[in-house]
């Protein structure tokens, strides 16, 4: 059994969950579910980043304590992940006592090792990003993400000697000691490091200015800089350093997923911290893009913000999981509108998967007395061997695994599942016309066709399970077979053609996806 440790960023607790948060977390959940299916020992970490000036200011605006404020936000994220059927192994919060202890231990060790020392820091600081900016990153003097001018900070601070690690990090990234995907992001960070280098960075803020943070253990007048605190969640989320059992079992991360706005700090600050701590580095970082809507950045003022939880209430969790990963190449930007969402629900779910499942099951009910018939393979018409699911079963699953392992979620869903498995089988029904075979009285030929379609449907449930677990198991119930238990599933045996036992009685046939008026 291999181990698989996957992380999302911990999301900044300054506001409610949005579609970007949902996108990263659903993508991680799909990979975690797939790796559980194939028998890997999986740990999936997500959570909340809850310290810093921005949260302090937001809480003060709402006349709440920062703790009250982040408690409410954390609950809203937990509810969102519950509604989206996210199955994480730990939801870490940076206000957790064990995390705070871990941060203090690391900061103390780095200080004692000479990697942190007191000094003065002058830099451009974007409160919205909670990041320091170089002038080359600004657009017309403003942060491109928040469209605000960064503040020039000049204050006493404890500095982390990040500049020491520039050459090491360049070597690590250039030689894929930490794989950066897609390649465009790898090239981007190499260019940044060669052009800008690395400067020492403030690892503290004066407590009189930023009181909402972890106190520096060696200077009570300072709190820990929010990124130095947040990055350590990837370690403390495994119980490190107090309880090292999970840490020793799962470290380092197999893959760390993140959006492009926080990639640079991961590739510089986070890797530098790990090098200073002499910890193993993550095996891979995968950086995805942003959603726009109608070609414009989502904005409350424009009125084009898409709320993932409102979509769940309208269409169900499985469709939202599907549409987020189907409509964008993972690693690039993509566009999503409410009109497109409605179209895809009707085409892919109501008329696609839902219709195919219903047709197959109703024909078994009508022509085989609700019993899965014998597979009379020798009597089944094969119209095109290249499109025959049983003949190309091994190739289908090889491509499926290749695309999923390469984060090509859109190809898994569009090409493998909806084109090859569903559309081609719909065509097969139209070409073989089981209702006409039934009239002819050729029972063996009819049963051969029905078994082929039913076994195709069983195979489809396995393929869609990581993306649409509820739908997969609803179909399996209607097929009369056991639900998928991802922690107890013989994947490589189950995907072999012919696993559906003749004589199985199908269950009650119900519509999977009700029509929705838009």
Residues 129, 502: Cα–Cα separation, whole Å: 59
What letter would DSSP give residue 164?
A: G
Residue 415 annotated as catalytic: no
Q: Which of 337, 357, 265, 332 is nearest to 294 (CA)?
A: 337
Phi/psi of residue 46, nearest 5 degrees: -140, 180
Residue 297 annotated as catalytic: yes
Residues 387, 429: Cα–Cα separation, whole Å: 13
Catalytic residue among 208, 297, 482, 505: 297
Catalytic residue among 35, 54, 99, 143: 143
- Residue pair 331/182 in contact (Cβ under 8 Å)? The answer is yes
Residue 146 annotated as catalytic: yes
Residue 300 annotated as catalytic: yes
Bin 267: left if φ > 0, else alpha if -120 < ψ < 50, else beta: alpha
The size of the chain, in residues, is 518
Phi/psi of residue 209, nearest 5 degrees: -95, -40
Catalytic residue among 51, 78, 126, 161: 126
Tell me if residue 367 falls in helix, strand or coil: helix
Bin 514: left if φ > 0, else alpha if -120 < ψ < 50, else beta: beta
Residues 422, 97: Cα–Cα separation, whole Å: 50
- Residue pair 51/214 in contact (Cβ under 8 Å)? The answer is yes
Catalytic residue among 3, 146, 177, 244: 146
- Neighbouring C-alpha atoms within 13 Å toward the C-beta of 353: 25
Residues 461, 474: Cα–Cα separation, whole Å: 9
Tell me if residue 59 falls in helix, strand or coil: helix
- Residue pair 203/223 in contact (Cβ under 8 Å)? The answer is no
What would the DSSP string read from start to end of 497-515?
TT-SPTTPBP-----SS--
Q: Which of 342, 340, 315 is nearest to 327 (CA)?
A: 340
- 3-state secondary structure string across 344-411: HHHHHHHHHHHHHHHHHHHHHHHHCCCECCCCCHHHCCCCCHHHCCCCCHHHHHHHHHHHHHCCCHHH
Catalytic residue among 54, 58, 129, 474: 129
Sign of CA dihedral 331, 335, 339, 343: negative
Query: 428 is written with which tokens?
Result: 């097969």
Active site members:
18, 21, 126, 129, 143, 146, 297, 300
């Amino acid at each position: 059994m291999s181990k698989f440790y996957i992380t999302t960023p911990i999301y900044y607790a300054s506001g409610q969950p949005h579609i970007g948060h949902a996108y990263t977390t659903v993508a991680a959940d799909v990979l975690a579910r797939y790796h559980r299916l194939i028998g890997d020992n999986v740990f999936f970490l997500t959570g909340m980043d809850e310290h810093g000036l921005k949260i302090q200011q937001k809480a003060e605006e709402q006349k709440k304590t920062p703790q009250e404020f982040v408690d409410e936000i954390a609950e809203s994220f937990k509810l969102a992940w519950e509604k989206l059927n996210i199955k994480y192994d730990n939801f870490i919060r940076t206000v957790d006592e064990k995390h705070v202890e871990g941060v203090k231990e690391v900061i103390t060790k780095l200080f004692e090792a000479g990697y942190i020392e007191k000094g003065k820091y002058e830099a451009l600081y974007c409160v919205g990003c909670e990041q320091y900016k170089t002038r080359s990153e600004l657009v017309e003097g403003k942060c491109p993400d928040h469209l605000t001018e960064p503040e020039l900070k000049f204050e006493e601070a404890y500095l982390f000697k990040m500049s020491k690690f520039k050459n090491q990090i360049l070597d690590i990234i250039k030689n894929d000691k930490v794989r950066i995907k897609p390649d465009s992001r790898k090239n981007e960070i190499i260019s940044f490091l060669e052009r800008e280098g690395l400067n020492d960075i403030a690892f503290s803020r004066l407590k009189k200015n930023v009181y909402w943070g972890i106190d520096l253990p060696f200077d009570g007048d300072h709190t820990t800089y929010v990124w130095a605190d947040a990055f350590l969640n990837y370690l403390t989320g495994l119980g490190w350093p107090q309880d090292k059992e999970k840490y020793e079992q799962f470290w380092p991360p197999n893959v760390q997923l993140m959006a492009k706005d926080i990639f640079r700090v991961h590739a510089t600050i986070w890797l530098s911290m790990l090098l200073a701590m002499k910890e193993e580095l993550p095996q891979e970082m995968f950086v995805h893009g942003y959603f726009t809507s109608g070609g414009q950045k989502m904005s409350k003022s424009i009125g084009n913000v898409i709320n993932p939880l409102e979509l769940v209430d309208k269409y169900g969790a499985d469709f939202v999981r599907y549409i987020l990963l189907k409509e964008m190449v993972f690693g690039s930007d993509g566009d999503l509108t409410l009109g497109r969402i409605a179209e895809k629900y009707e085409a892919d779910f109501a008329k696609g998967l839902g219709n195919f499942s219903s047709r197959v099951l109703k024909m078994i009910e009508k022509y085989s007395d609700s019993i899965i018939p014998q597979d009379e393979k020798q009597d089944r018409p094969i119209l095109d061997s290249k499109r025959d699911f049983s003949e190309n079963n091994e190739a289908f699953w090889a491509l499926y695994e290749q695309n999923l392992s390469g984060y090509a979620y859109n190809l898994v869903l569009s090409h493998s599942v909806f084109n090859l498995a569903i559309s081609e089988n719909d065509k097969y029904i139209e070409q073989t016309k089981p209702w006409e075979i039934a009239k002819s009285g050729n029972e063996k030929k009819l049963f051969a066709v029905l078994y082929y379609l039913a076994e195709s449907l069983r195979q489809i449930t396995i393929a869609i399970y990581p993306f649409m677990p509820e739908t997969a198991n609803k179909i399996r119930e209607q097929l009369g077979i056991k639900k998928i238990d991802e922690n107890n599933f013989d994947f490589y045996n189950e995907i072999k053609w012919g696993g559906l036992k003749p004589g199985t009685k199908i269950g009650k046939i119900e519509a999977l996806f009700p029509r929705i008026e838009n």
